[in-house]
Amino acid sequence: MRTVFAMHELSLMDSVFDLIAPKVRDPGKLVAVYVTVGPLSGVCADSLLFGFDLLAEERGFDHAKLVVERTSALVWCEACGREYESGDLSQGCPSCGALRRMVLSGDEFTVDGIEMEV
């Protein structure tokens, strides 16, 4: 029977630890975990932080920190043709204000790398 975490960012951090585990020879030597979270990922970066703090020590990652890179969405404005980065999709084009647009990227949710003490 699998463990179900009541707060789902805990379960997401659990997944991060599972993904990095094969690359971590000595948990006490893990220094940092690098994660990317996009505005359309559906994930709350601050809750990941909370989840990391709760779970890291119990997995022996006593000296590790979580580094979250928050990306922006890449957007193409259909009204004026401008391509821009948006961290807040409730706002329109910075040039013309239009909401008529195409979202090109922004749903990233990856663990990019880890830093190990040598």
Partner 1 sequence: MCDTCGCSSSIGSPEHRHVLSSLGLGREPASETIDVGMKILLKNNECASWNRARFDERGVLVVNLIGSPGCGKTTIIEAMARRLKEKMVVIEGDVRTRRDTERVIRAGSRAFQIETNGACHLDAHGIRHALENVELDGCQIVVIENVGNLVCPAAYELGEHQKAAILSLPEGDDKVLKYPALFYRIGTLLINKIDLAPYMEFNFYKAVEECKSLNKNFRAFSVSGKTGEGVDEFCGYLREQANKGGAMR
Quick one: which of 68, 33, 18 has its CA closest to 48?
A: 68
> Any bridge partners for residue 32, and if so which?
65, 115
How far apart are the C-alpha atoms of 17 and 24, rounded to whole Å?
10
85 counts as binding partner 1 under rule CB under 8 A? no
Q: Does 68 bind partner 1 (CB under 8 A)?
A: yes
Alpha-carbon separation of residue 51 from 44, 47, 92, 109 (angstroms): 11, 6, 33, 15
Verify binding: residue 3, partner 1, rule CB under 8 A.
no
Under rule CB under 8 A, residue 10 binds partner 1: no
Residues in contact with partner 1 by CB under 8 A are 2, 4-6, 8, 12, 15-16, 18-20, 23, 31-32, 34-35, 39-43, 45-46, 49, 52-53, 56-57, 61-70, 87, 89-90, 99-103, 106-107, 109-118
